[in-house]
Amino acid sequence: MQKTNPFPGMNPFMEQRWHDAHHTLIGLIRQVLGRELPEAYSALAEEQVIVTGGSSPTYYPDLSIVEDEWKRGLPPVWTPGEYQGLTVAVASPDIVTVETPPERWVEVRHDDGELVTVIEVISPTNRESGRTAFLAKRGDYLAAGVNVVEVDLLRDGRRLIDIEPAAYQSRYGHVGEHYTVCTIRAALPQRREIYICPLRNRLPVVRIPLRHSDPDVPLDIQALVDQVHASGRYWKLDYRRSLEPAPCADDLAWMGERLQAAALI
């Protein structure tokens, strides 16, 4: 059995453990930039919990069912014997607690305290229930003169790149056939530097912008993904599970050949 990433680029089956992959990738980006940034900069991993509201399948799937005692925090209710001449009982709800996923990102700060660049690894929540909040946060960063880099290694759902879906598909093809990295420089807020990453290709080495007077820093996304794969022992994933959305027939056949050669199926 092959224990290295069986694909030359992103392994789409890693979405089975996306929360682990996301968390680990953020840490590795911070670690690599911490070594490569010019002396006057530092990379910091940041996290906060954002409640976006609404019900969404992108919340953590680990739900806990709360049993009696009494329903752990639900107050008692006044129960009259009769209501409009009928004897009624107050219904007991089924209590389910849902964990809200934290938002994580990497900040690049200058030694004078200025926030220069933010690197986001896109999560399903960013695309769906938290889309409006994410786009508002991006706008706030750009308005404050902060560069934004968005690494999107998910196949399903609408991209956060602000191009109409029809125009996006006409230019780049179906979103499920590739990944993207998008950089927005605060000095050029109307411009998007878009890296299209097809399923069969190596993920790119991208440019991380700093202050306009300083050169960009390269970040090898593929090397980091391969480290996530190795440290997470992702060769143990279920490689027989169907992918959503399903790849095109040619890509599906190509994946099957790679997985068979790696003895993973």
- In sequence order, what DSSP letters do the residues of 7-58 get, joined into one string? SSS--GGGGGGHHHHHHHHHHHHHHHHHHHS-TTEEEEEEEEE----S--TT
Tokens for 185, please give them.
């420089």
Is residue 184, in this structure, part of any structural domain at all?
yes
**pLDDT confidence of residue 50:** 43
Is residue 215, in this structure, part of any structural domain at all?
yes
**pLDDT confidence of residue 85:** 61
Taking the C-alpha atoms of residue 150 and residue 19, their distance in angstroms, rounded to an integer, is: 17
Is the per-residue pLDDT at 258 higher than 70? yes
**CA contacts within 13 A on the Cβ side of 61:** 6
Average pLDDT rounded to a whole number, residues 181-188: 95
**pLDDT confidence of residue 82:** 57
Is residue 177, in this structure, part of any structural domain at all?
yes
Is residue 4, in this structure, part of any structural domain at all?
no
**pLDDT confidence of residue 201:** 96
Q: Which domain holds residue 186?
A: 12-67+91-261
**pLDDT confidence of residue 158:** 86
Is the per-residue pLDDT at 46 higher than 70? yes
**pLDDT confidence of residue 88:** 63
Is residue 78, in this structure, part of any structural domain at all?
no
Tens of pLDDT, residue by residue over 81-124, are 555 666 666 676 776 655 566 778 899 999 999 999 999 999 99
Check: pTM over 0.95? Answer yes or no: no
Name residue 42's beta-bridge partners. Answer: 109
Mapped onto helix, strand or coil, the DSSP state of residue 118 is strand
Share of the chain above pLDDT 90, in %: 69
Taking the C-alpha atoms of residue 181 and residue 206, their distance in angstroms, rounded to an integer, is: 8
Instruction: Count CB atoms within 10 A of the CB of residue 65.
Output: 8
Give the distance from CA 206 to its chain's centroid: 18
Is the per-residue pLDDT at 197 higher than 80? yes
Is residue 241, in this structure, part of any structural domain at all?
yes
Mapped onto helix, strand or coil, the DSSP state of residue 208 is strand
Instruction: Count CB atoms within 10 A of the CB of residue 44.
Output: 13
Q: Phi first, then psi: give them for residue 250, nearest 5 degrees.
A: -65, -45
| Domains identified in the chain, total number | 1
Mapped onto helix, strand or coil, the DSSP state of residue 238 is coil
Tokens for 22, please give them.
């996301």
Window from 79-88, 129-138, 211-220, 245-254 with minimum mean pLDDT: 79-88
Is residue 40, in this structure, part of any structural domain at all?
yes
Average pLDDT rounded to a whole number, residues 191-216: 95
Mapped onto helix, strand or coil, the DSSP state of residue 147 is strand
Is residue 211, in this structure, part of any structural domain at all?
yes
For the chain, the C-alpha Rg in angstroms (whole number) is: 23
Average pLDDT rounded to a whole number, residues 194-220: 95
Tens of pLDDT, residue by residue over 47-68, are 764 433 343 333 333 344 444 4
Tell me the pLDDT band of 78, cut-offs 50, 70 and 90: low
**pLDDT confidence of residue 65:** 41
Is the per-residue pLDDT at 76 higher than 70? no
Tens of pLDDT, residue by residue over 31-40, are 999 999 999 9
Contact 149, 118 (CB under 8 A): yes
Taking the C-alpha atoms of residue 56 and residue 133, their distance in angstroms, rounded to an integer, is: 15
